[in-house]
Amino acid sequence: MVAALAAPLATLPALPATAQIPPPGAPMTFAPLAQRLLPAVVNIQTSQAAAQARQQQRPGTPPGGPEVPQAPPGSPFEEFFRDFLERNRPPGGQPNRPQPPSRRGQSLGSGFIIDASGIIVTNNHVIDGADEINVVMSDNTTLRAELVGTDPRTDIAVLRVQPERPLPFVTFGDSDTALVGDWVLAIGNPFGLGGSVTAGIVSARGRDIRQGPYDDFIQTDAAINRGNSGGPLFNLAGEVIGINTAIYSPSGGSIGIGFSIPANLARNIAAQLRDVGRVRRGWLGVNIQQVTEEIAESLSLPGGARGALVARAQEDGPAAAAGIQAGDVILRFNGQEVREMRNLPRIVADTPVGRQAPVVVWRDGREQTLNVTVSELPAEAAQAGTPDPAPDARPQTLELAGLGLKIGPITPEARERFTLRPESRGVVITEVSPGSPAAERELRPGDVIVEVQQERVNSPAEVQARLEALRRQNRATALLLIESAQGQRWVPLRLAAPQGNPG
């Protein structure tokens, strides 16, 4: 029986070289580590003028009514005060008396010192909108803080205090060496209770929680609650490997799913904010999309779905100047592998502005290397809305059998009916059959087919001819470049045999 149980264990892989291997029986206690780190973790208290605070009222507080007294967020007292005010509100929902104009709203968070001179890192959302920021040290000393710089894209902010003596501080570690299963400590200010220590493990790496283009969160089961935001996540060496930023919780309390910004992202952002007060990010100037298995198959890309597919290289952008084209798959950028689409924005953003970076792309069935000079990410342009298409005469159409599509030429009537841009070229989709392969790919009337299998098309007959050629080659998928009001994207479309033709 012992041999039978032991046999499968022999097939387990060896530990990675970067794994943290604690001494036998450790950790029996986190006390020595916590005692060393606690003095470098601070509580952050912010306040804002009453008018501003009322604009950011908590859910459940009626407009114009009195604010809930500032008990720690999420505490039982918060619910008590809210219930009390609701019971005593006069008819019509108006407060019994006006609020004094000097009334101020407050919020609580966490941060950590990275320099003895008084440089502190926290989350942007902890101090966003504040007109007064105070930092409470572990010995209860309170210092007024100055906002040095903030980066809403990554939710990082840097503060400065003026201490009378050098402060204890902590350093960033290499978050890339943190492995799933490693021990971690979270220290912060949950619910305004002051310095609290929780322990857990790294639960997952590279989490995308739809907070922005640079999502690469560390997930942990160390208890993280409201007020922990901006606090550090430590490894057993006492290095900061993450900034605790978000939790997943239906109730608002910890359920063991917390998310931290990795140190390798935060380190560069914090350094730029400290040195120049703002962040300069690298910019490539491309619209990209995920490479699916079907797209990889249609492009004969070895290794399956990987890389970032270029839907458009923006005019006058660095990518277009370097020769990057729509339809290229970016596989490596500046020596780093692009495993999937969402890796590319972070890699490019971390590349110093002005650097010439090699870019490996998949084009015409082979790898090619181009050199691009990285520019600075410009301010985001406002997106203009597109009016609904006006009903008008339909252009002459051609049905693509087996795909559920009807297409037509781009005529003046089609431009007016579908509100196409003046520069749009290609073939317009005039009708999509419900439940068809085209509908499954979310193609819609008014979308323009620009290319089929990376070749330009200018008429419905050309589209039909290209699709028939692909069928004769026994290709299962056609890759279409589609232009819509939201921009360009590549769409893999399964080729069904037309009715009346053999399989």
Q: What is the pLDDT of residue 211?
A: 63
> Tokens 């008396």 — which residue?
97
3-state secondary structure of 207: strand
The CA-atom distances, in angstroms, between 217 and each of 66, 206, 247, 263 are 38, 5, 11, 10
Q: Which residues are catalytic?
A: 125, 155, 229
Give me the residues paired with residue 141 across strands.
none
Angle at 270 between CA 214 and CA 223, to 5 degrees: 70
Which of the residues in the chain have pLDDT under 50? 1-10, 51, 53-78, 80-81, 84, 87-88, 95, 97-98, 103, 380-395, 498-503
Give the C-alpha separation, 333 to 348, whole Å.
8
3-state secondary structure of 308: strand
Exposure string over 278-314, b if 16+ CB within 10 A, otherwise e: ebebbbbbbbbbebbebbbbbbebeeebbbbbbbbbe
**Residue 482: closest CA among 427, 433, 408:** 427
Give the C-alpha separation, 261 to 245, whole Å.
7
Contact 342, 208 (CB under 8 A): yes
Residue 320, phi then psi, degrees to nearest 5: -60, -40
Contact 104, 49 (CB under 8 A): yes
Give the C-alpha separation, 392 to 408, whole Å.
14
Give the C-alpha separation, 422 to 346, whole Å.
34
> Tokens 């962040």 — which residue?
279
Q: What is the pLDDT of residue 86?
A: 54
Give the C-alpha separation, 396 to 210, whole Å.
42
- The H or E element spanning position 8 is helix 2-9
Q: What is the pLDDT of residue 102?
A: 52
Q: What is the pLDDT of residue 378?
A: 78
Give me the residues paired with residue 143 across strands.
135
Angle at 98 between CA 93 and CA 102, to 5 degrees: 135
Q: Which two tokens stand for residue 369?
A: 């290397």
Contact 377, 283 (CB under 8 A): yes
Say if strands 132-136 and 142-144 run parallel, antiparallel, or are unpaired.
Answer: antiparallel
Query: Before 250, cis peptide (omega within 30)?
Result: no
* CA 360 from centre of chain: 24
| CA-based R_g, the chain, Å | 28
Give the C-alpha separation, 462 to 453, whole Å.
12
Domains annotated on the chain, with CATH:
33-88+99-279 (2.40.10.120), 283-376 (2.30.42.10), 398-494 (2.30.42.10)
Q: Which two tokens stand for residue 176?
A: 């890339």
- DSSP of 250-303: SSSS--S-EEEEEHHHHHHHHHHHHHHSS---EE--EEEEE--HHHHHHTT-TT
Residue 364, phi then psi, degrees to nearest 5: 55, 40
* pLDDT (tens digit per residue) in 147-170: 999 998 889 999 999 999 999 999
* pLDDT (tens digit per residue) in 288-333: 888 888 888 888 899 888 999 998 888 888 999 999 998 899 999 9
